Amino acid sequence: MPLNLLKKYNELLELLQFSERQRDVSLRGIFNRDIVENSDFKFRGKLIRPFKQDGVSALETLFSHLTRKTDEKEKNVKSRSVFDMKRSERLHWIWHHVQEIEQIKIFSHKDRKDGKNVIRTYLFDEVENYVVVLEPYRKTNDYYLLSAYYLESRYNGPKRIKNKYKRRLQKVY
């Protein structure tokens, strides 16, 4: 398990050989190091926070968004109950992308969410088909970390994000 703490971008975490509990311990170690305990977890000088949800720990919600996906059979269910290997094995990539070390496409886009326009900022790694999604915090000059995931071709992920990039806003929020 400690071996995963040594992994760098663009290596994948080794998770297949673990039991569910061991896998969770390994992923939480990376999550804690890169996000929870990282006082420098900022994007362009702005603090990145977990998204708050009523009655649920913000950090638990974020961990779930970064390591799980919604069951495809239950489209109307909002919970993330299915372990997502592709998200999880790239968990340590988030910190790398937030630092803007590599050449990535950074843009803001106006998305429709629950009947409202919402501005989101995308950190798009076209080479690795990976995206980190941030939302500007309304009350302060910070961000919410909404999610980060591998863009799967079977869901038109790369095509969708490229279309958003074509329709991006002039300013990065």
Q: What is the pLDDT of residues 74-112, one digit of tens each?
A: 556 556 679 999 999 999 999 999 999 878 999 999 998
Q: Examine the pLDDT at 139 and tell me if it is beyond 60.
A: yes
Q: What is the pLDDT of residues 8-46, one digit of tens each?
A: 999 999 999 999 999 999 999 999 999 999 999 999 999
- Domain range list for the chain: 2-166
Q: Examine the pLDDT at 56 and tell me if it is beyond 90.
A: no
Q: Are 92 and 13 in contact (CB under 8 A)?
A: yes
Across the range 62-81, mean pLDDT stands at 76
Q: Give the pLDDT band (50/70/90) at residue 140.
A: confident
Quick one: CA dihedral 87, 115, 142, 101, positive or negative? Answer: positive
Antiparallel, parallel or unpaired: β 46-50 and 143-150: parallel
- Identify the DSSP state of 75: T
Whole-angstrom Cα distance, residue 88 to residue 80?
A: 13
Quick one: CA dihedral 80, 85, 89, 1, positive or negative? Answer: positive
Model pTM?
0.90
